[in-house]
Structure 1
Amino acid sequence: METDEQAKDRQRLERYIDREALTSVMSNTKWEKLRALMIEESARRPAWRVRCLRDTREVEPQWDGDWHYHLPEFKHIEWLEIFPIQKERKGYLLPDKVTDYFVGLLKSNSIPFSIEGESLRIWGYLRPCQAVEFV
Protein backbone atom coordinates (compact mmCIF):
# COMPACT_ATOMS: atom_id res chain seq x y z
CA MET A 1 0.00 0.00 0.00
CA GLU A 2 1.35 3.37 -1.04
CA THR A 3 1.38 6.17 1.54
CA ASP A 4 0.20 9.69 0.67
CA GLU A 5 3.81 10.93 0.64
CA GLN A 6 4.91 8.08 -1.65
CA ALA A 7 2.00 8.82 -4.01
CA LYS A 8 2.98 12.53 -4.11
CA ASP A 9 6.61 11.61 -4.81
CA ARG A 10 5.57 9.21 -7.60
CA GLN A 11 3.38 11.92 -9.16
CA ARG A 12 6.20 14.48 -8.94
CA LEU A 13 8.53 12.04 -10.66
CA GLU A 14 5.99 11.29 -13.40
CA ARG A 15 5.47 15.02 -14.00
CA TYR A 16 9.24 15.55 -14.17
CA ILE A 17 9.63 12.73 -16.73
CA ASP A 18 6.81 14.19 -18.86
CA ARG A 19 8.06 17.78 -18.58
CA GLU A 20 11.63 16.80 -19.53
CA ALA A 21 10.37 14.43 -22.30
CA LEU A 22 12.57 11.61 -21.02
CA THR A 23 12.66 8.22 -22.72
CA SER A 24 12.89 5.14 -20.53
CA VAL A 25 15.67 2.72 -21.54
CA MET A 26 15.61 0.10 -18.76
CA SER A 27 12.75 -1.85 -17.24
CA ASN A 28 12.56 -2.97 -13.61
CA THR A 29 13.21 -6.52 -14.83
CA LYS A 30 16.49 -5.48 -16.48
CA TRP A 31 17.53 -3.44 -13.42
CA GLU A 32 16.89 -6.47 -11.19
CA LYS A 33 18.88 -8.66 -13.58
CA LEU A 34 21.78 -6.19 -13.48
CA ARG A 35 21.69 -6.06 -9.69
CA ALA A 36 21.63 -9.88 -9.44
CA LEU A 37 24.55 -10.18 -11.88
CA MET A 38 26.63 -7.69 -9.90
CA ILE A 39 25.88 -9.46 -6.62
CA GLU A 40 27.02 -12.72 -8.25
CA GLU A 41 30.23 -10.91 -9.21
CA SER A 42 30.91 -9.89 -5.61
CA ALA A 43 34.36 -11.52 -5.69
CA ARG A 44 35.38 -8.89 -8.26
CA ARG A 45 33.70 -6.13 -6.21
CA PRO A 46 32.30 -4.05 -9.08
CA ALA A 47 32.19 -0.40 -8.03
CA TRP A 48 29.27 1.73 -9.19
CA ARG A 49 27.96 5.26 -9.02
CA VAL A 50 24.55 6.59 -9.88
CA ARG A 51 22.91 9.80 -11.01
CA CYS A 52 19.24 10.15 -10.17
CA LEU A 53 16.78 12.11 -12.28
CA ARG A 54 16.30 15.06 -9.96
CA ASP A 55 19.90 15.28 -8.72
CA THR A 56 21.07 18.85 -8.46
CA ARG A 57 24.66 18.02 -7.53
CA GLU A 58 27.32 19.70 -9.65
CA VAL A 59 29.99 17.15 -8.69
CA GLU A 60 30.25 13.59 -9.92
CA PRO A 61 28.62 11.02 -7.64
CA GLN A 62 30.87 8.95 -5.38
CA TRP A 63 31.75 5.33 -6.14
CA ASP A 64 30.04 2.65 -4.03
CA GLY A 65 30.30 -1.12 -3.87
CA ASP A 66 27.17 -2.22 -2.04
CA TRP A 67 24.71 -3.72 -4.54
CA HIS A 68 22.44 -5.01 -1.75
CA TYR A 69 21.24 -1.88 0.06
CA HIS A 70 22.58 1.35 -1.44
CA LEU A 71 20.89 1.46 -4.85
CA PRO A 72 18.02 3.94 -5.17
CA GLU A 73 14.66 2.86 -6.53
CA PHE A 74 15.14 1.98 -10.18
CA LYS A 75 12.52 4.48 -11.38
CA HIS A 76 14.74 7.32 -10.09
CA ILE A 77 17.97 6.30 -11.89
CA GLU A 78 19.01 8.44 -14.85
CA TRP A 79 22.22 6.42 -15.26
CA LEU A 80 24.38 4.01 -13.34
CA GLU A 81 28.06 3.55 -14.07
CA ILE A 82 30.13 0.49 -13.34
CA PHE A 83 33.89 0.67 -13.08
CA PRO A 84 34.66 -2.55 -14.93
CA ILE A 85 38.44 -2.61 -14.86
CA GLN A 86 40.30 -4.77 -12.41
CA LYS A 87 44.04 -4.14 -12.17
CA GLU A 88 46.50 -6.71 -10.90
CA ARG A 89 49.93 -5.47 -9.96
CA LYS A 90 52.68 -7.40 -11.76
CA GLY A 91 55.68 -5.63 -10.29
CA TYR A 92 57.68 -2.43 -10.54
CA LEU A 93 58.93 -2.95 -14.09
CA LEU A 94 55.90 -4.62 -15.63
CA PRO A 95 52.62 -2.84 -16.37
CA ASP A 96 49.57 -3.83 -14.35
CA LYS A 97 47.43 -6.59 -15.83
CA VAL A 98 44.09 -4.99 -16.78
CA THR A 99 40.97 -7.15 -17.07
CA ASP A 100 37.45 -6.09 -18.03
CA TYR A 101 34.90 -8.69 -16.99
CA PHE A 102 31.66 -6.82 -17.49
CA VAL A 103 31.28 -5.86 -21.18
CA GLY A 104 30.58 -9.46 -22.19
CA LEU A 105 28.37 -10.01 -19.16
CA LEU A 106 26.17 -7.01 -19.98
CA LYS A 107 26.01 -7.88 -23.68
CA SER A 108 25.07 -11.50 -23.02
CA ASN A 109 22.20 -10.35 -20.80
CA SER A 110 20.93 -7.71 -23.27
CA ILE A 111 21.53 -4.81 -20.87
CA PRO A 112 22.04 -1.65 -22.96
CA PHE A 113 25.09 0.40 -22.02
CA SER A 114 27.58 2.87 -23.41
CA ILE A 115 31.27 3.29 -22.70
CA GLU A 116 32.06 6.57 -20.94
CA GLY A 117 35.82 6.89 -20.42
CA GLU A 118 36.82 3.87 -18.32
CA SER A 119 33.25 3.24 -17.14
CA LEU A 120 30.26 1.35 -18.47
CA ARG A 121 27.14 3.49 -18.23
CA ILE A 122 23.75 1.81 -18.00
CA TRP A 123 21.06 4.32 -18.90
CA GLY A 124 17.74 4.44 -17.09
CA TYR A 125 16.44 7.40 -19.11
CA LEU A 126 17.61 9.44 -22.08
CA ARG A 127 17.01 13.14 -22.48
CA PRO A 128 15.77 14.59 -25.81
CA CYS A 129 18.52 15.08 -28.39
CA GLN A 130 20.94 13.07 -26.27
CA ALA A 131 23.17 11.07 -28.57
CA VAL A 132 24.24 7.81 -26.93
CA GLU A 133 26.06 5.06 -28.74
CA PHE A 134 25.02 1.79 -27.15
CA VAL A 135 27.46 -1.12 -27.28
Structure 2
Amino acid sequence: MKMGVVTPMDYNQYRTKVKNEIERRGLTSILNNTRWNRLLHGVYERLPFPPPFQMKSVLSEQPYPEPFEQDVNYNGDWHTAIGDMSDGARFAAWQSPAFDIEWLRVKPRRLQYQGRLVEPLLLDIEQEFAALLREERIPHTKKGNDYWIYGYAAAEQLAWIHL
Protein backbone atom coordinates (compact mmCIF):
# COMPACT_ATOMS: atom_id res chain seq x y z
CA MET A 1 0.00 0.00 0.00
CA LYS A 2 1.38 3.42 -1.01
CA MET A 3 1.95 5.86 1.86
CA GLY A 4 -1.35 7.14 3.15
CA VAL A 5 -3.48 5.63 0.38
CA VAL A 6 -6.56 3.83 1.65
CA THR A 7 -8.75 1.38 -0.22
CA PRO A 8 -12.48 1.19 0.67
CA MET A 9 -12.11 -2.26 2.24
CA ASP A 10 -9.56 -1.26 4.85
CA TYR A 11 -10.72 2.33 5.58
CA ASN A 12 -12.00 1.65 9.13
CA GLN A 13 -9.00 -0.51 10.00
CA TYR A 14 -6.66 2.21 8.71
CA ARG A 15 -8.47 4.90 10.70
CA THR A 16 -8.12 2.78 13.85
CA LYS A 17 -4.37 2.34 13.24
CA VAL A 18 -3.95 6.10 12.84
CA LYS A 19 -5.95 6.79 16.00
CA ASN A 20 -3.87 4.27 17.98
CA GLU A 21 -0.61 5.83 16.76
CA ILE A 22 -1.83 9.33 17.67
CA GLU A 23 -2.64 8.14 21.19
CA ARG A 24 0.65 6.21 21.51
CA ARG A 25 2.69 9.29 20.57
CA GLY A 26 0.55 11.71 22.60
CA LEU A 27 -0.25 13.93 19.62
CA THR A 28 -2.87 16.69 19.79
CA SER A 29 -5.29 17.31 16.93
CA ILE A 30 -4.74 20.75 15.38
CA LEU A 31 -6.94 20.81 12.25
CA ASN A 32 -10.49 19.52 11.98
CA ASN A 33 -12.32 18.48 8.80
CA THR A 34 -13.86 21.93 8.33
CA ARG A 35 -10.48 23.64 8.27
CA TRP A 36 -8.95 21.00 5.99
CA ASN A 37 -11.84 21.63 3.58
CA ARG A 38 -11.41 25.40 3.77
CA LEU A 39 -7.71 25.03 3.06
CA LEU A 40 -8.31 22.66 0.14
CA HIS A 41 -10.94 24.88 -1.47
CA GLY A 42 -8.91 28.03 -0.84
CA VAL A 43 -5.84 26.55 -2.52
CA TYR A 44 -7.78 25.82 -5.71
CA GLU A 45 -10.12 28.82 -5.71
CA ARG A 46 -7.91 31.65 -4.48
CA LEU A 47 -4.34 30.87 -5.51
CA PRO A 48 -2.81 31.12 -9.00
CA PHE A 49 -1.54 27.54 -8.64
CA PRO A 50 -1.65 24.85 -5.94
CA PRO A 51 1.70 25.16 -4.14
CA PRO A 52 3.95 22.11 -3.85
CA PHE A 53 4.18 20.43 -0.47
CA GLN A 54 5.84 17.64 1.45
CA MET A 55 3.55 15.46 3.56
CA LYS A 56 4.27 13.52 6.73
CA SER A 57 1.71 10.82 7.46
CA VAL A 58 1.05 9.77 11.05
CA LEU A 59 1.90 6.17 10.16
CA SER A 60 4.97 6.90 8.01
CA GLU A 61 8.51 7.23 9.28
CA GLN A 62 9.58 9.62 6.50
CA PRO A 63 7.80 12.46 4.72
CA TYR A 64 7.03 12.33 1.01
CA PRO A 65 8.72 13.42 -1.13
CA GLU A 66 11.86 13.02 0.96
CA PRO A 67 14.08 15.54 -0.84
CA PHE A 68 12.27 18.87 -0.49
CA GLU A 69 14.93 21.43 0.43
CA GLN A 70 15.15 23.14 -2.97
CA ASP A 71 12.39 24.85 -4.91
CA VAL A 72 10.59 22.49 -7.29
CA ASN A 73 8.99 22.77 -10.74
CA TYR A 74 5.64 21.08 -10.08
CA ASN A 75 2.30 21.95 -8.48
CA GLY A 76 1.03 20.29 -5.31
CA ASP A 77 -1.74 17.71 -5.65
CA TRP A 78 -3.86 18.84 -2.71
CA HIS A 79 -6.83 16.66 -3.68
CA THR A 80 -4.67 13.56 -3.24
CA ALA A 81 -3.34 14.70 0.14
CA ILE A 82 -6.51 16.02 1.73
CA GLY A 83 -9.32 14.51 -0.29
CA ASP A 84 -12.94 15.50 0.27
CA MET A 85 -13.67 15.80 3.98
CA SER A 86 -17.36 16.65 3.57
CA ASP A 87 -20.01 14.51 5.26
CA GLY A 88 -20.56 11.23 3.46
CA ALA A 89 -17.45 11.54 1.30
CA ARG A 90 -15.60 8.39 0.36
CA PHE A 91 -12.01 8.18 -0.72
CA ALA A 92 -10.72 6.83 -3.98
CA ALA A 93 -7.79 4.41 -3.80
CA TRP A 94 -5.39 7.20 -4.82
CA GLN A 95 -6.41 9.63 -2.06
CA SER A 96 -5.09 10.00 1.45
CA PRO A 97 -7.59 10.81 4.19
CA ALA A 98 -6.79 14.05 6.00
CA PHE A 99 -7.01 12.28 9.36
CA ASP A 100 -3.64 10.69 8.52
CA ILE A 101 -1.78 13.97 7.84
CA GLU A 102 0.65 14.77 10.64
CA TRP A 103 1.96 17.83 8.80
CA LEU A 104 2.35 19.49 5.41
CA ARG A 105 5.44 21.51 4.56
CA VAL A 106 4.36 23.96 1.87
CA LYS A 107 6.53 25.93 -0.53
CA PRO A 108 4.30 28.79 -1.76
CA ARG A 109 6.35 29.09 -4.93
CA ARG A 110 7.53 26.97 -7.83
CA LEU A 111 10.00 27.11 -10.66
CA GLN A 112 8.71 27.56 -14.20
CA TYR A 113 10.78 26.22 -17.06
CA GLN A 114 11.90 28.95 -19.49
CA GLY A 115 14.07 26.93 -21.87
CA ARG A 116 17.37 25.10 -21.83
CA LEU A 117 19.56 28.19 -21.81
CA VAL A 118 17.50 30.33 -19.46
CA GLU A 119 17.23 30.02 -15.69
CA PRO A 120 13.79 28.93 -14.47
CA LEU A 121 11.43 31.68 -13.38
CA LEU A 122 10.47 31.63 -9.69
CA LEU A 123 6.69 32.05 -9.32
CA ASP A 124 6.10 33.29 -5.76
CA ILE A 125 2.62 33.28 -4.19
CA GLU A 126 3.70 33.66 -0.57
CA GLN A 127 1.55 36.74 0.08
CA GLU A 128 -1.58 35.07 -1.30
CA PHE A 129 -0.88 31.84 0.58
CA ALA A 130 -0.20 33.64 3.88
CA ALA A 131 -3.45 35.60 3.42
CA LEU A 132 -5.35 32.34 2.85
CA LEU A 133 -3.94 30.83 6.06
CA ARG A 134 -4.72 33.97 8.03
CA GLU A 135 -8.25 34.49 6.66
CA GLU A 136 -9.25 30.84 7.04
CA ARG A 137 -7.59 30.69 10.47
CA ILE A 138 -5.38 27.73 9.54
CA PRO A 139 -2.85 27.03 12.32
CA HIS A 140 0.67 27.06 10.91
CA THR A 141 4.25 28.04 11.48
CA LYS A 142 6.85 29.45 9.13
CA LYS A 143 10.41 28.12 9.01
CA GLY A 144 12.66 29.83 6.51
CA ASN A 145 10.63 30.21 3.33
CA ASP A 146 8.34 27.24 4.00
CA TYR A 147 5.01 27.02 5.83
CA TRP A 148 4.18 24.06 8.06
CA ILE A 149 0.54 23.13 8.55
CA TYR A 150 -0.09 20.60 11.30
CA GLY A 151 -2.83 18.01 11.42
CA TYR A 152 -1.38 16.83 14.73
CA ALA A 153 1.41 18.09 16.96
CA ALA A 154 3.29 17.03 20.05
CA ALA A 155 2.90 19.19 23.17
CA GLU A 156 6.34 20.80 22.72
CA GLN A 157 5.39 21.95 19.18
CA LEU A 158 2.21 23.76 20.24
CA ALA A 159 4.08 26.80 21.56
CA TRP A 160 5.34 27.87 18.13
CA ILE A 161 2.28 27.10 15.98
CA HIS A 162 0.29 30.22 15.05
CA LEU A 163 -3.18 29.18 16.19
User: Which TM bucket (shorter chain)?
Assistant: 0.7 to 0.9
More strand, by proportion = 1
Instruction: Give 1:116's aligned amino acid.
Output: K
Instruction: Give 2:147's aligned amino acid.
Output: L
C-alpha displacement at 1:132, in angstroms?
Answer: 4.5
Instruction: Give 2:145's aligned amino acid.
Output: E
Equivalent positions of 1:28-47 (< 5 A) are 28-41=33-46, 43-47=48-52
* Change in 2 beyond 3 A, CA 1:4/1:44: closer
1:106 pairs with 2:133: yes
* 1:65-104 deviation per Cα after TM superposition (whole angstroms, max 9, x unaligned): 222335421100000122124679xxxxxxx795522112
Alpha-carbon separation, structure 1, partners of 2:17 and 2:26: 14
- The residue that corresponds to 1:121 in the other structure is 148
Unaligned runs of 5+ in 2: 1-7, 69-74, 83-95, 113-121
Give the TM-score normalised by structure 1.
0.76
Give the TM-score normalised by structure 2.
0.64
* Change in 2 beyond 3 A, CA 1:45/1:70: same
C-alpha displacement at 1:42, in angstroms?
Answer: 5.2
3-state secondary structure, aligned to 2:156: coil
Q: Which has the larger radius of gyration?
A: 1
Contact 1:79 1:122 in 2 (8 A): yes
Kindly, what percent of the aligned residue pairs are identical? Answer: 25
Query: Larger deviation: 28-37 or 66-75?
Result: 66-75
**Paired positions, count:** 125
Alpha-carbon separation, structure 1, partners of 2:49 and 2:59: 31
CA RMSD after TM alignment: 2.8
Equivalent positions of 1:1-135 (< 5 A) are 5-41=10-46, 43-57=48-62, 60-62=63-65, 65-71=76-82, 72-85=96-109, 100=126, 101-130=128-157, 132-135=159-162
